[in-house]
Amino acid sequence: MLRRLYAWTLSLAAGKHADRALFGVAFAEASFFPLPPDILLVPMTIARPERGYYLALLCGLASTMGGALGYAIGALLYDSVGLWIINLYGYGDKMEAFRETYAHYGLWIILLKGLTPIPYKLVTITSGFAGYNFFLFMALSAVSRTLRFLVVGWLLKRYGEPVREFIEKRLELATIILLVFVVGGFVVVKYVV
């Protein structure tokens, strides 16, 4: 089943809706969706390495735009939707401390967390909740998210063939590594940040 899913994802890269699917996942991940766009970006870039930078820029744009939705959730709907999303991920008890930290380190929080696998939706919602300057938030999001995806695109463009071979030979291990990557981001936020 896992191999069929992998083959389907690779075939998606050649489909006419591939870019829209990637855009949609990157947009949603920045505001509410639990999985990172890397689940599509990686196989799509491996399938067509010449499009790696384009796909990375598409992810950066979509993630930045999705960040505006996350910001709006935090600013306008925190008591209902925003709090529900934060509690869904188990981070409700950290939000007040996180908000206070924004007063002093907001710029660095947005830049650094935008570059990491830490769920970005937490940064976007908290930025709105904390009342961080929206235009500065958007600029920092554009820089950090685009840079994050460009690094992935560059790595895959440069090392894509060995990565593809590794994934195809050891698909189960590659899936476990991806899950560790995703769950690790949640754990870091829950217990470290």
- Residues 152 and 147: their CA atoms lie apart, in Å, by 9
What is the reported pTM? Answer: 0.78
Q: In the chain, where does DSSP find H-type helix?
A: 2-14, 18-29, 38-47, 52-76, 83-88, 95-114, 120-130, 134-169, 171-187
> What pLDDT is recorded for position 68?
97
DSSP 133-159: -HHHHHHHHHHHHHHHHHHHHHHHHHH
Tokens 């925003």 map to which residue? 82
**C-alpha angle 85/31/145, rounded to 5°?**
140
Tally the domains of the chain: 1
- Residues 133 and 77: their CA atoms lie apart, in Å, by 17
State the burial class of residue 52 (Cβ atoms within 10 Å of its Cβ: 0-12, 13-18, 19+): buried
Backbone phi, psi, residue 12, to 5°: -60, -35
Block means of pLDDT (10 residues each) for the chain, 193 residues, are: 66 77 92 82 84 94 96 88 76 74 85 81 87 95 95 85 74 71 62 53
Q: Which residues, other chains included, contact 145 with Cβ-Cβ below 8 Å and sequence gap of 6+?
A: 30, 59, 60, 63, 64, 67, 114, 120
- Residues 36 and 179: their CA atoms lie apart, in Å, by 11
pLDDT tens digits along 32-63 = 887 788 878 888 888 888 888 999 999 999 99
The tokens describing 134, both together, are 């929206």
> What pLDDT is recorded for position 28?
93
> What pLDDT is recorded for position 105?
87
Structural domain harbouring 92: 2-192
> What pLDDT is recorded for position 137?
96
> What pLDDT is recorded for position 184?
67
> What pLDDT is recorded for position 104?
85
